[in-house]
Amino acid sequence: MTANKYPPGWNEPRVLRVLKYYESQSDEEAAAEIESASERTTMEVPVALVPAVRKLIAKRRLSPARPTKTHNKPLQTGERRASVAAKPKRSSRTARG
């Protein structure tokens, strides 16, 4: 007899809960869930930008694993947020000419 192998974070009780959830759905409920998921996970991109988007996706897949969300994350000691290059600030008198 072989032992079941589950992906990280999964175990037999979790698998059984998921099976029970999907087996108890009606066809209409399943169709509504699929439709809702596709609306949340798709994005329209102009045809001219498709090659650039594909390159970005490929580059991201090849890069080492990293956190995807960085906003609202507290900074660690000595860590600085990346800054965007800003134009030199002008005083109000300089701006008026």
Q: What is the pLDDT of residues 13-60, one digit of tens each?
A: 999 999 999 999 999 999 999 888 877 777 889 999 999 999 998 988
Counting Cβ atoms within 10 Å, is residue 73 exposed (0-12), middle (13-18) or buried (19+)?
A: exposed
* DSSP notation for 55-77: HHHHHHHHSPP--S--TTPPPPT
Per the prediction, the chain carries an average pLDDT of: 77
What whole-number percentage of the chain has pLDDT above 90?
38
Answer yes or no: pTM beyond 0.95: no
SS3 for 81?
coil
Instruction: Give me the percent of the chain exceeding a pLDDT of 70.
Output: 64
Q: How many CB atoms lie within 10 A of CB 15?
A: 13
